[in-house]
Amino acid sequence: MKKPRILITGASGCVGQYIADWLLKNSEAELLLWLRDPSKLTAISSEEPRIKLLIGDLRDPSPFKKELGSVTRVIHTATAWGDPERALQVNVLAVKELLNLLNPKILEQIIYFSTASILDKHLNPLPEALAYGTEYIQTKAHCLSELEKHHLAEKIIAVFPTLVFGGTVDKKSPFPTSYLTQGLIEASRWLWLARWLRVDSTFHFIHAADIAFICGHLATTPHMPNTEKGQGALRRLVMAQPAISINQAVETLCRWRGIRRTPVIPLWGWLINTLTKILPIEINAWDRFSIKHRHFIHDPITPPERLGGQSYAKTLEEVLRISILPMRSNSSKRVKL
């Protein structure tokens, strides 16, 4: 039997490298890794015989038409943000062109990465994402709307990461450090203030290793018609661990860093709005919506356990340990912050 050929876009990113590593260890698939800078491929050896690098920009797929027409599965992690024009080109137009170059006769599945920010609690598209979102959120919402109506929709699984941890704060892991893991350093610096405040807000998180299991499992098992309730042909999965509150996160960080939690002052929504008006803080329409919305939770969520696996980092304590954040300021293994 011919080995499956799996294309991974954004392959040099944190999530892309965790997925490629999982597939190398748990499957016999041939991997086509599409990336712009091969020097950023730190956790995967480009000499691995099952790997072929496609070095180039996602906006110009023409050099890889032959390779794209040979893949049986796609894991599309590549994305862009910051520049509105580039976000539109990468997050919408390039996705359309990629789908056009795939061979529907041999294509079995597409795992498309979006963001949980564009979904409401019940995994339905959030109207405010298109109305108020940043260029990243708006283009992701736009692309999902088009994919729902695409002729390949029944072969597409849209996955929606929540807050993503990955790598380590000391950057000694072979895997790239995610923005959220790197942010643990800054969060530790502000615990002296955060320990006094209580914020009524809830969120999900997930580790990139658990994303890799979910995507790897989906990419190595038979693709089935969507059975998720209330959805169409395209399947939507929010990749997340059970929700925690910001207060729980602050308490966990304080315990980890050996900082005493104090009596707290409620930081209500109206107070946050007042502070943003009197302090030199720039906020956009999406920021205002987020302050009002506050609880970024989803149901159902898909951790590895939902697919028969076991989470690599199920709790925030496990995330902090894996990220090698120092446990307390006087630790003998202290990492300089």
Mean pLDDT across 276-304 = 79
User: Distance between CA atoms of 153 and 73, rounded to whole angstroms?
Assistant: 14
Taking the C-alpha atoms of residue 276 and residue 101, their distance in angstroms, rounded to an integer, is 47
pLDDT at 277: 60
Q: What is the mean pLDDT of residues 80-97?
A: 95
Q: Are 317 and 256 within 8 A, CB to CB?
A: yes
Among the ranges given (113-127, 208-222, 316-330), the one the predictor scored with the smallest mean pLDDT: 316-330
Supply the mean pLDDT for the chain.
91
Say what percent of the chain tops pLDDT 90. 80
Amino acid at the residue 239: M
pLDDT tens by residue, 93-146: 999 999 999 999 999 999 999 999 999 999 999 999 999 999 999 999 999 999
Poorest-pLDDT segment among 41-55, 194-208, 267-281? 267-281
Average pLDDT over residues 137-159: 97
pLDDT computed for residue 274 by the predictor: 59
CB 249 within 8 A of CB 184: no
H-type alpha helices, the chain: 14-26, 65-68, 84-88, 94-101, 127-132, 135-148, 179-189, 191-194, 208-219, 246-257, 269-278, 285-293, 316-322
User: How many other CB atoms are found less than 10 A from the CB of residue 147?
Assistant: 20
| Burial status of residue 292 (CB atoms within 10 A of its CB: 0-12, 13-18, 19 or more) | exposed
Asked whether 203 and 297 are in contact (CB, 8 A), the reply is yes
Residue 333 has pLDDT above 80, yes or no: no
Residue spans of the domains in the chain: they are 5-164+206-239
Find the mean pLDDT for residues 158-171.
97
Q: Write down the pLDDT at residue 94.
A: 97
Residue 324 CA to residue 177 CA, distance in Å, equals 11
Domain 5-164+206-239 maps to which CATH number in 3.40.1800.10, 3.20.20.70, 2.30.30.40, 3.40.50.720? 3.40.50.720
- 270: pLDDT strictly greater than 60: no
Find the helix packing angle between 246-257 and 179-189, rounded to 10°.
Answer: 70
Q: What is the pLDDT of residues 6-25, one digit of tens each?
A: 999 999 999 999 999 999 99
Q: Report whether pLDDT(152) > 60.
A: yes
Confidence bin at 302 (pLDDT 50/70/90) = very high
**Does 278 score more than 70 pLDDT?**
no
pLDDT computed for residue 336 by the predictor: 39
The pTM score is 0.93
What pLDDT, on a 0 to 100 scale, did the predictor assign at position 162?
97
Q: What is the mean pLDDT of residues 185-205?
A: 89
User: What pLDDT is attached to residue 200?
Assistant: 83
pLDDT of residue 1: 57
Q: Are the beta carbons of 58 and 78 closer than 8 angstroms?
A: yes
Determine contact, residues 91/80, Cβ cutoff 8 Å. Answer: yes
Share above pLDDT 70 across residues of the chain, in percent, rounded to a whole number: 92
Kindly tell me if the per-residue pLDDT of 337 is higher than 50.
no
What is the Cα–Cα distance from 125 to 317, expressed in whole angstroms?
32
